[in-house]
Structure formats: structure tokens, C-alpha cells
Amino acid sequence: MATASLAKPFISGILPQNRTARLAMQVGIAIVGSLFLTLTAKTKVFLGPVDLNLGTLGIFLIAALFGSRLGLATILLYMAEGAAGLPVFQSSPEKGVGLLYMLGTTGGYLAGYVVAGAVVGWAADRGFDRNPFKIGAAMAVGEIAIMGLGFAWLATLIGSQAAYTAGVVPFLLGDAIKIALAASVVAAVRSLRA
């Protein structure tokens, strides 16, 4: 009987067994995944006083479906593309590119993406992705990491009160909706391979 610690992420079911073909497919999946993350970062939803992007939705989906290793590799590839100056982030190139953009007001949130990806990927590796409430809870922990790091970095730039008012509060409802949506999508996708 398999234990939760031996669970495999969704993506492992479509990877070939041949080592070379598997690696080639993982590289291709990471590249496509980074393009998906760019698309979600650039997709804006207007809900309340600020523009929301779907970046966290993308991070949660990639991490939950790819697992910790490939998910984190995909997220790090996305970050490397941004650091290299490619306009992959929400407000790039309008608000700068590369490391300059990453060290700006969104730098903490971007660092939080990596932590959230690791948390959600770890949970998926242990079978949490088979239950929308369990993977949703892991995504909520990831969201806390994103908001916590985002707030901490933004507070060093504009002060704690302004960071909380402008960088946390306006995003809470939208991010809760994205967690619910991502958890539902992951559960639906996983049910296809049940």
C-alpha cells in the first residue's frame, strides 16, 4: 500500500520512462510552464481598487500539477527570464526590467512565489493534490508566504502602514478566489487520472 509520502505529482504520469526523453520533456514542460506564468502575470482582472493579475493562480497550478522539483525549476526559470531582462512580470517593461524591476516594490512578492511554489509542490508530492481542501490549505500557506515576504519588502521601501494598506489588504479577496479556483482546477485535473 502506497503512503502519502510516496505520492507522485500529476505531471509524472505523462513523462516517458526513458531517462533522456524524460529530461527533454521536463525541459520542454518547464519552458511552456514559464510561458504560462508570463501569461498569467500579464492577465489583469479588475476587482476593487487595484488591478489583480493571475500570477499567483499560475504559481499554484504549476506547483500543484508539476510537483516540487519540476514546479520549482519552472518558477526559477521564470525568475531567471525576468532577471535577464525579459518582460515576463506583470508591469514589465513599463516599470522596468531585469534585476532593477525585481528589486522594486514587487520584489518580495516575487520571492514569495518561489517559497509558495516550494510549499505547494511539496504538498502535491505527498498527495495533497488529490483533495481540494488539502491542496487549498497548502496554497493558503503559500499565499501567506507571498503576502508576508511582499509586505516585509514593501515595508522597507514605503513603511509598514502604507505597505499593509496598499500591498496586502486590496489583494486578500482576489487571492482567496484564486486559491479556491486553483484548488478546484487541480482536483478536477487529478480526477481525470484517478
**What pLDDT does residue 94 have?**
78
Contact 139, 60 (CB under 8 A): yes
* Whether pLDDT at 191 is above 90: no
pLDDT top residue among 191 and 177: 177
% of the chain exceeding 90 in pLDDT? 77
pLDDT tens by residue, 24-83: 999 999 999 999 999 999 998 886 667 789 999 999 999 999 999 999 999 999 999 999
Question: pTM of the full predicted structure?
Answer: 0.91
* Whether pLDDT at 5 is above 50: no
Average pLDDT, the chain: 91
**What pLDDT does residue 148 have?**
97
pLDDT tens by residue, 102-118: 999 999 999 999 999 99
Residue spans of the domains in the chain: they are: 11-192
**What pLDDT does residue 6 have?**
54
**What pLDDT does residue 167 have?**
92
Q: Residue 96: which pLDDT band, with cuts at 50, 70 and 90?
A: confident
* Long-range interactions of 105-110: CB distance < 8 A, separation 24+: 105/153, 105/154, 105/157, 105/158, 105/167, 106/150, 107/153, 108/149, 108/150, 108/151, 108/152, 108/153, 108/154, 109/146, 109/147, 109/149, 109/150, 109/153, 110/79, 110/82
* 45 strand-pairing partners: 52
* Whether pLDDT at 4 is above 80: no
% of the chain exceeding 70 in pLDDT? 94
CATH class of this structure's domain 11-192: mainly alpha
Flag the least confident range among 47-61, 66-80, 121-135, 160-174.
Answer: 47-61
Q: Span 138-151, mean pLDDT?
A: 98
